[in-house]
Amino acid sequence: NAGVTQTPKFRVLKTGQSMTLLCAQDMNHEYMYWYRQDPGMGLRLIHYSVGEGTTAKGEVPDGYNVSRLKKQNFLLGLESAAPSQTSVYFCASILGDLNTGELFFGEGSRLTVL
Amino acid sequence: KNQVEQSPQSLIILEGKNCTLQCNYTVSPFSNLRWYKQDTGRGPVSLTIMTFSENTKSNGRYTATLDADTKQSSLHITASQLSDSASYICVVSARTGGFKTIFGAGTRLFVKA
Mutation target among B101, B102, B108 for the A interface, most CBs of A within 10 A: B101
Please report residues of A whose CB lies closer than 8 A to that of B50: none
Interface of chain B against chain A, CB under 8 Å?
Answer: 4, 31-32, 34, 36, 41-46, 49, 89, 93-96, 99-106
User: Is pLDDT at A99 greater than 70 in this prediction?
Assistant: no
Give me the amino acid identity at A22. L
Residue A98's pLDDT band, with cuts at 50, 70 and 90, is: low
Average pLDDT, chain A: 94
Nearest CA in chain A to B43: A107
Lateral strand order in the sheet of A73-78: A4-7, A19-25, A73-78, A64-67
Q: What is the mean pLDDT of residues B94-101?
A: 73
Residues 6+ apart with CB under 8 A from A52: A68, A69, A70, A71
CB A102 within 8 A of CB B45: no
CA distance A59 to chain B (A): 10
Ramachandran area for residue B43 (φ above 0: left; ψ -120 to 50: alpha; else beta): beta
Q: For residue A25, which of A77, A89, A78, A94 has the smallest C-alpha distance? A: A94
Is there a contact between B31 and A100 if contact means CB atoms under 8 Å apart?
Answer: yes
Q: What is the pLDDT of residue B52?
A: 83
Q: What is the mean pLDDT of residues A49-78?
A: 96
User: Is pLDDT at B99 greater than 80 in this prediction?
Assistant: no
**Could you tell me which residue, A95 or B49, shows the higher pLDDT?**
B49
Is there a contact between B46 and A99 if contact means CB atoms under 8 Å apart?
Answer: no
CA distance B92 to chain A (A): 9
User: Is pLDDT at A28 greater than 80 in this prediction?
Assistant: yes
Residue B2's pLDDT band, with cuts at 50, 70 and 90, is: confident
Q: What is the pLDDT of residue A1?
A: 59
Q: What is the mean pLDDT of residues B64-82?
A: 96
Residue B94's pLDDT band, with cuts at 50, 70 and 90, is: confident
Q: What is the mean pLDDT of residues B50-70?
A: 94
Q: What is the pLDDT of residue A35?
A: 97
